[in-house]
A and B are shown apart, each in its own frame.
Chain A
Amino acid sequence: MRFVILAALMVTLASAFVLYSSNYDTRQLEVRVSEQERAIEKARGDIAVLKAERAHLARPERIEPLARAMGLAPASEQQLAVSPDAALSRVMATGSTTSQKRGD
């Protein structure tokens, strides 16, 4: 009987230790989880801001003047063709027209 009591006492102490360490680990994990959650939330917030900034920078109202300053213009129906061959032949034709205009 004395052995049983002693064993029970040992088990009690061991359990208390295990419980304490589990509790401690759990708290540590909870801290890490909340840190990760905060990091995720911050990253999501940053992504949202970056997405908004990218969309703001890519808005057509801003891009169009920049594109025009580079000599570009809205695509015209003349730049569409049914096939690459048709496009190439048209480019060649217009290229020769341009050359003739320039007197090359």
Chain B
Amino acid sequence: MERGASNSHVEHEAAGEVAAEPRSANGPLRTLIATVGVALFFMAIGAQLVRLALMGLGDSSISMSETVAQSFARPDIVDRNGRLLATDVEAYSLFADPARVIDRDEVIEKLALVFNDLDRTSLRKDLSDRTRRFVWVRRGLSPRVAQAVHDLGLPGLDFRRELRRAYPGGKLAGHLIGYVNIDNKGVSGIERYVDDVVGVESVQGATLAERPPVRLSIDIGVQHAVEAELQEAMKLYEAKGAAAIVMDVNSGEVLASASLPGVDPAFPNTSLEPGNLDKIAGSTFELGSVFKTLTVAMAIDAALVTPDTIVDVRKELSAGGFTIKDLHPLRRPLSVAEIFLHSSNVGAAMLAMQAGPQRFRDFLRQMQVLDPMRTEAGPIAPPQLPQRWGDIETMTIAYGHGIAVAPLQFAAAAASVVNGGRKVTPTFVKRPADSGVAVIPLIDTATSAKMRDLMRRNVAERVGTGKRAEVAGYQVGGKTGTAEMPGVGGYREKSVISSFLAAFPMDNPRYLVFVMIFEPQGTKASSGEVLASLNAAPTAGRVIGRVGPLLGILPTQAAAAGAPSVAFDARSGAKYETR
């Protein structure tokens, strides 16, 4: 044993001697390799640190296996002065995870306590499918309702924050603004324009849009004033509807576009009801005698007549089985000016026939009345034209029958008549202050001046049909129109569209106002008649009297001072009494 140990020691020593030789030879090499390895390791760490310091962490992405509904963050919509018309707000949306729902019946019964209109059958079917992990129950909840659901303490239900469109003005300019769908995507009106042109951001959650607001040409104050006056007119004349436009005749900007009954963009279904259709851009109408504005302008612009030219209108016109006659014939030859002031159907038809069907048609096309038109809010309802444009059609179109156009399209043509003859393209988006409007002449400036004079006379003179539209100091000019509405087998005599086309101030028109009253009744306020001179004209006057100051139009002082009707009570210092 001792020996064995001793031998072993010797062997070890011998082995140590043998091993000592290579150790001394390879030691520096191994150290060098280790040093280089450590140095490389440090260099790698250093390089990584430098890279991270210089480049940051880089983009990280999260992938989600769960199907999540996509939503859209939309820019605000504001009026021309920056007042809010539409905005996104955060709302809660309730969803269920069927796999985590313990008692379906309990969930359905308790939810029905909060949502009275809950579709139990559909929800039971959705919750029965245990393979699904995500089922929408109700979207766009207010915080109060969301809290009520939360308080039920039901397992398997949860909330997701989403963006919902809010319209703080309610029905104000509802037709124009349009609406969005459940995913906050624009479906119609300006909301559709926001999607198509301005752009929206696809989001998951409730991240608000970064885009600047969309600034409309609409003025909330003017829009409200117009809607309020139309509402009053509907009561006064027991009408089924009313509509009006206020347009800048130079830029084409629409400051108010009202169509009653109105719609609330928050309740899109209401806008699809037939009575609630947009009467300004979404429908076409035979507008009646206001169309004579274009007929007379055509005759004067073509140098066929002057306002003083005498036309024999005593005979009724007959063509194709139709008889064209005047409502209140004067039984004497009339000047062109008198044809306009007395709204002679025979006279207008004769002027159109003097030009001929082709020239009349070309003129209306030049005035943008015959071709489809679109605005930012979408296409305007296309004009309805006669299939064959012969003599009889020329005569009836001369006084606004046999052709149906959207009021907005007609208003654009009428604006060109009064603004010096320049083309007007209607727009609902505010034009930048420094953007010039391309000057495209449609009619001669002299023709425009003569038409302004005729329209002014129609309001200012005692015989004019528009005298009830006069507003002291604003030099209103205009033309009435009482159009019988088409019915089964002909026109309905008692169902009319009363309208008044106005512009002010007529020495240098700034704004056009086009008022329409649908199916008014002969009430005490209109002396038992349904004529536009007794309902639409005074309504237009009230609208102008109310929006003129809002638009900063200074009345002519002579006229204003001549009819002082403002009483300032110096003692109370706060009361104003207006007419």
A: which residues have CB within 8 A of B?
A: 1, 4-5, 8, 11-12, 15, 19, 41, 44-45, 48-49, 51-56, 58-61, 64, 71-82, 86, 90-91, 93-95, 97-98
User: Cβ of A98 and Cβ of B560 under 8 Å apart?
Assistant: no
B: interface residue count bin:
35 or more
Q: Which DSSP category, helix, strand, loop or mixed, fits chain A's interface?
A: helix
- Closest residue to A75 on the B side, CB-wise? B549
User: Cβ of A8 and Cβ of B42 under 8 Å apart?
Assistant: yes
Known pairs A12-B42, A45-B208, A80-B554; A59 contacts B172 (CB<8 A) = yes
Q: A12-B38, A48-B208 are in contact. List 7 more A-B contacts (CB 8 A).
A: A5-B38, A19-B49, A49-B89, A78-B472, A81-B554, A81-B557, A98-B567
The interface bits of chain B over 548-579 (1 if a CB of A lies within 8 angstroms of the residue's CB, else 0) are 11100111010011011111111000111111
CB distance from A64 to the nearest CB of B (A): 7
CB distance from B283 to the nearest CB of A (A): 25
Report the 6 A-B pairs with minimum CB-CB distance, sorted nearest first: A60-B224, A55-B168, A55-B84, A56-B168, A75-B549, A77-B555
B225 within 8 A of A: yes
B545 within 8 A of A: yes
User: Cβ of B224 and Cβ of A79 under 8 Å apart?
Assistant: no
| Complex Cα spacing A55 to B169, Å | 7
CB distance from B257 to the nearest CB of A (A): 16
Q: Which chain A positions have C-beta within 8 A of B84?
A: 51-52, 54-55
| Complex Cα spacing A19 to B84, Å | 51
| Complex Cα spacing A91 to B89, Å | 47
| Complex Cα spacing A84 to B326, Å | 51
| Complex Cα spacing A1 to B36, Å | 12
Partner of A71, one of B34, B42, B170, B575: B575
B88 within 8 A of A: yes
Q: Which DSSP category, helix, strand, loop or mixed, fits chain B's interface?
A: mixed
Q: Which chain B positions have C-beta within 8 A of A82?
A: 554, 557
Partner of A76, one of B168, B169, B545: B545
User: Cβ of A52 and Cβ of B170 under 8 Å apart?
Assistant: no
Partner of B564, one of A44, A49, A74, A90: A90
The interface bits of chain B over 24-59 (1 if a CB of A lies within 8 angstroms of the residue's CB, else 0) are 000000010011001100100100010000000000
B87 within 8 A of A: yes
| Complex Cα spacing A102 to B208, Å | 60
User: Cβ of A73 and Cβ of B42 under 8 Å apart?
Assistant: no
B: which residues have CB within 8 A of A?
A: 31, 34-35, 38-39, 42, 45, 49, 83-85, 87-90, 166, 168-170, 172, 206-208, 220-221, 224-225, 228, 471-474, 545-546, 548-550, 553-555, 557, 560-561, 563-570, 574-579
Q: Please name 25 pairs of A and B residues whose Cβ atoms are closer than 8 Å in the assembled complex, sorted by A.
A: A4-B35, A5-B38, A41-B206, A41-B208, A48-B88, A51-B84, A52-B168, A55-B84, A55-B85, A55-B168, A60-B221, A61-B172, A72-B576, A73-B578, A74-B549, A74-B578, A76-B549, A77-B549, A78-B472, A78-B560, A80-B549, A80-B553, A90-B561, A94-B564, A98-B569
User: Cβ of B566 and Cβ of A79 under 8 Å apart?
Assistant: yes
CB distance from A28 to the nearest CB of B (A): 15
Max count, chain B CB within 10 A of own CB: residue among A49, A53, A55, A77:
A77
Q: Which chain B positions have C-beta within 8 A of A86?
A: 557
Q: Which chain B positions have C-beta within 8 A of A93?
A: 564
Q: Which chain B positions have C-beta within 8 A of A4?
A: 35
Partner of A1, one of B35, B206, B474, B568: B35
| Complex Cα spacing A4 to B88, Å | 65
User: Cβ of A59 and Cβ of B168 under 8 Å apart?
Assistant: yes
| Complex Cα spacing A82 to B322, Å | 54
CB distance from B404 to the nearest CB of A (A): 32
Q: Which chain B positions have C-beta within 8 A of A45?
A: 89-90, 206, 208
User: Cβ of A77 and Cβ of B169 under 8 Å apart?
Assistant: no
Known pairs A75-B550, A77-B545, A79-B576; A61 contacts B555 (CB<8 A) = no
| Complex Cα spacing A72 to B578, Å | 9
Q: Which chain A positions have C-beta within 8 A of B567?
A: 94, 97-98
- Closest residue to B169 on the A side, CB-wise? A59
Q: Which chain A positions have C-beta within 8 A of B569?
A: 98
User: Cβ of A76 and Cβ of B225 under 8 Å apart?
Assistant: no
User: Cβ of B83 and Cβ of A55 under 8 Å apart?
Assistant: yes
Max count, chain B CB within 10 A of own CB: residue among A15, A51, A53, A74:
A74
Q: Which chain B positions have C-beta within 8 A of A51?
A: 84, 87
CB distance from A19 to the nearest CB of B (A): 7
- Closest residue to A4 on the B side, CB-wise? B35
User: Cβ of A77 and Cβ of B560 under 8 Å apart?
Assistant: yes
- Closest residue to B38 on the A side, CB-wise? A8
| Complex Cα spacing A8 to B35, Å | 9
| Complex Cα spacing A97 to B545, Å | 23
User: Cβ of B568 and Cβ of A91 under 8 Å apart?
Assistant: yes
Q: Which chain A positions have C-beta within 8 A of B42?
A: 8, 11-12, 15
| Complex Cα spacing A81 to B39, Å | 88
| Complex Cα spacing A41 to B90, Å | 11
| Complex Cα spacing A45 to B168, Å | 16
Q: Which chain B positions have C-beta within 8 A of A77?
A: 471-474, 545, 548-549, 553, 555, 560
| Complex Cα spacing A54 to B578, Å | 29
- Closest residue to B171 on the A side, CB-wise? A61
Known pairs A44-B208, A98-B567; A78 contacts B83 (CB<8 A) = no
Known pairs A61-B172, A73-B576; A41 contacts B546 (CB<8 A) = no
Q: Which chain B positions have C-beta within 8 A of A1?
A: 31, 35
User: Cβ of B565 and Cβ of A78 under 8 Å apart?
Assistant: yes
Q: Which chain A positions have C-beta within 8 A of B545?
A: 76-77
| Complex Cα spacing A12 to B554, Å | 83
Q: Which chain B positions have C-beta within 8 A of A53?
A: 168
User: Cβ of A71 and Cβ of B574 under 8 Å apart?
Assistant: yes
| Complex Cα spacing A48 to B165, Å | 11
User: Cβ of B555 and Cβ of A80 under 8 Å apart?
Assistant: yes
| Complex Cα spacing A103 to B282, Å | 57
Known pairs A74-B546, A77-B555; A97 contacts B564 (CB<8 A) = yes
Q: Which chain A positions have C-beta within 8 A of B89?
A: 45, 48-49, 52
